Structure 1
């Protein structure tokens, strides 16, 4: 009887030790994961500080130089003064965009995006965004075409965030298409469980070596001397917004020149596309 009791006690001790070892392993794994997360956030902070410092320098220098020129030349020609003022306005808009993107980036990274999800018709939102960018397209002489199914495509998402994604993708296309010969197509297709949006253009496309990093933050592809200005945040933020809404975003390589960015989102509950699929 005593031997049986001792054996049971020995088994219990071994079991307790095994449990403690497992808890220790789990605790160490959790601690390592938390340390990795903190290191990633610290690297992000350093990247933001370095990038913002660099990006702020050029527009601030330009604004100060032009301001000093106008201040020191009260008799400056009106046309030249207007040109300088337009440059100042453009540079302040650039600073505003940078500030907004950095705020978006930090909010997304902290998991605090201030979301206001609702059921919206993504097709109607596309029409609204396109209308708001009509002046941009006209200024560059860009031909724009949209393709949508006749029925609504309802998704549950923050409308302002989704608008931001669409504006980012369209603005990105505007920057790269040839002036007066540019073409941008935005196509919406509806399936049983989700909706897909593709924004394609006839620009130079994304170089093969840059494609794996196209959605990385603070990364811009192509030749630094010839590529349009930017911070390398728009696509990263857009993808994070889409993923937060339960979708995914990708880059396609069309058979001819140009780029095509696509994303898909799940249809809202009760809004399945059965019987109305765009093939």
Structure 2
């Protein structure tokens, strides 16, 4: 009873944040749902049309293509950065552990995390310079390797634009996974890893049986955070390709923005964002449900 009495007062520190969440998140969500039932160009009178915007969405091929791209973006935005971040973190941990070279780890951490710190607009401009058809460093490097002139329009063709955007996403998110996994490895006892070295365990065996089990919470958080980010991705697409060319890289978020401002269909764009919010909520609920089920099974 004494413990509950001491902790009871901490709720007052949570109430302000909870109120802000309710007002600015759920309030705007319900407001957006209301707009999604209107035929409204963004100015002037609005006409209530019920669920007609949602019906029109399901018959729009561009909408389904945007969702197809969103599920594809889970690979370069979530899965590959998680794998690369894990490998880089384990390599850094095993290389610098117990040595004076461990002082290099903060430098590596800062370098890999830098894409998360640099504004996405600046990163997009830098990558557009690198991908430039005539003077880009990527085409010049390929020309030096092959000995022939290379003039690939990376963001001007559907196939190459998707490849370039995928590489941009991998570069952007790998540092986040790397920093999270490196922080998680700080819980690992170095003597256990050193003992596995002495017992003859190779790199894969150490990763599979010693390191990976200790990083399960971090893997769950990184995959969930980046997968949700992939479904609602906007800034990388907007600043690198703006969903083009010919809607080959569009995402649900850019599709909604084009509906809001490009076609002046505010109600239609609100319906798209409402469906996006509902789907993300279902994905998060399903992931947490699976995690709780696995936790109950492991406790038995």
TM-score, scaled to structure 2: 0.28
Q: Which has the higher contact order (CA 8 A, sep 6+)?
A: 2
TM-score, scaled to structure 1: 0.30
The structure with the larger Rg is 1
- In terms of fraction of residues, the more helix-rich structure is 2
